[in-house]
Structure 1
Amino acid sequence: MKLILTQQVTGLGEPGDVIEVRDGYGRNYLVPRGFAIQWTRGAEKQIDSIKKARSAREIATVEHAKEIAGQLKALKVNLRTRTGSNGRLFGAVTAADIAAAVQAADGPELDKRRIEIGNPIKTVGTHRVSVRLHPEVSASIDVNVLEG
């Protein structure tokens, strides 16, 4: 199945890339979640607009990505959320919550789609989260989840 990615998918490519995947993966996962659209000659024309939108919000150079990674490394990120009696959260911490907490801690503005949470954050404490700043540069953030 031939698809055009509309969002970055780890291991497949960037928005605007034309990829070839198995039918079930494309039909049951990528297309319903909005990660890709079916490739057609008409959709081929949309690739330029997808790539322009990507370049507008993308960190352009490796040096700029490394600079942002240095800022993130020096940052203390605290996130207050509602908890139960035993320190478990009501729900889980999302990538949007982390992006907002980084910005509240006077950090750089991050796109929530670039934040990768390994295991769902459902407890109070310090958790490590990775951020893909550039295809060649990624950074780690320690997020301290607090009751409150």
Structure 2
Amino acid sequence: MEIILIQDVDNLGGANEVVKVRNGYARNFLIPQKFAVEASPSNLKQLEERRKQIEKKEKKMLSAINEVIAKLKEGALKIGAKSGTSGKIFGSVTSLQLARAIREQKGYEIDRKKITLPEEVKELGAYKATIDFGNGHSTELEFEVVAE
């Protein structure tokens, strides 16, 4: 029996996929649990329409991500930190401070969990961080730690 998966099912497939399974598995488990619907002609038309809408949404999201990436690459962020005379800062610069600096200086709200620092930032100087937007899109962000 052919069915259309409504949501991801382990070892079977992802949402909006048409898969072939045994009749009993579909009728007794997948359809009653609302994991799938039967692949009738009307349901296949709805699936095609849903795929078109998802594709449009992804294009919009991709253009927004590219706009943010372009804006972030325009210049290096400056993060102020208290430091000693030797150039070492008290504490370290974290992804939270970086997210705040992006919000204040660039005007974009980026979740701190998406920001990855390759090393601990404990001295004044220039560094790079990676921002992961998901769906395989990421960018490197240059920032500079300066004395307050």
Which consecutive unaligned segments of at least 5 residues does structure 1 have?
1-16, 20-58
Check whether the contact 1:62–1:136 (CA below 8 A) recurs between aligned residues. Answer: no
Map 1:15-54 → 2, pairs under 5 A: none
1:89-148, Cα deviation, whole Å (9 max, x unpaired): 111101010011111213311110000001011110110111001222111111110011
Partner of 2:65: 65
Q: Does the CA-based 8 Å contact 1:72-1:107 persist in structure 2?
A: no
Matches of 2:111 and 2:9, distance apart in 1: 23
1:81 maps to which residue? 81
Letter in 1 for 2:70: G
Q: When the two structures are superposed, what TM-score results if normalisation uses the length of structure 1? A: 0.57
Correspondences of 1:102-113 after superposition (within 5 Å): 102-113=102-113
Q: CA RMSD in A?
A: 2.3
> Going by fraction, where is helix more abundant, 1 or 2?
2
Amino acid at match of 2:95: A
Report the TM-score, using the length of structure 2 for normalisation.
0.57
Percent identity for Structure 1 against Structure 2 = 23
Report the secondary structure of 1:119's partner residue: coil
- How far off its partner does 1:18 sit? 9.8
Task: Indicate the structure (1 or 2) with the bigger Cα radius of gyration.
Answer: 2
Take 2:69 and 2:140, find their aligned partners in 1: how far apart are those partners?
A: 8
| TM-aligned CA deviation for residue 67 of structure 1 | 1.5
Partner of 2:146, secondary structure, is strand
CA shift in 2, pair 1:18/1:123, >3 Å = farther
> Judging changes above 3 Å, is the alpha-carbon distance between structure 1 residues 129 and 18 closer, same or farther for their aligned structure 2 residues?
farther
Q: 1:81 to 1:65 in 2, by over 3 A?
A: same
- The 1:78/1:18 distance shift into structure 2, 3 A limit, reads farther
Residue 103 of structure 2 aligns to which amino acid in structure 1? Q
CA contact (8 A) 2:72 2:106 kept: no
Matched to 2:138, the amino acid is: S
Contact 1:93 1:121 in 2 (8 A): yes
Give the total of aligned pairs: 93
SS in 1 for 2:108: coil
- Residues of 2 paired with 1:109 and 1:72: CA distance? 12
Take 1:18 and 1:89, find their aligned partners in 2: how far apart are those partners?
A: 49
Q: Distance in 2 between matches of 1:135 and 1:86?
A: 42
- 8 Å CA contact 1:92, 1:121 repeated in 2: yes
CA distance in structure 1 between the partners assigned to 2:131 and 2:120 by the alignment: 15
